[in-house]
Amino acid sequence: MLLPHGAVIAVVDGQTLELYRNAGDEGEPELSALPTPKLDAHNHSGGSHHSSAGNHAGNMVNEDAHAAAAATWLNGQVLSHELKDLVVIAPPRTLGELRKHYHKLTERALLKELHKDLIGKQPRDILQALREKV
Q: What is the domain range of residue 108?
A: 8-132
The CATH number for 66's domain is 3.30.420
Q: Is 12 helix (H, G, I), strand (E, B) or coil?
A: strand
For residues 88 and 73, is the Cβ–Cβ distance under 8 A? no
Count the domains in the chain.
1
Provide the 10 A C-beta neighbour count for residue 81.
8
Residue 1 lies in a domain: no
Amino acid at 73: W
Task: Supply the pTM of this predicted model.
Answer: 0.86
| pLDDT 10s digits, 62-77 | 899 999 999 999 999 9
Chain mean position to CA 79: 16
| pLDDT 10s digits, 119-131 | 999 999 999 999 9
Pairwise CA distance, residues 49 & 89, whole Å: 24
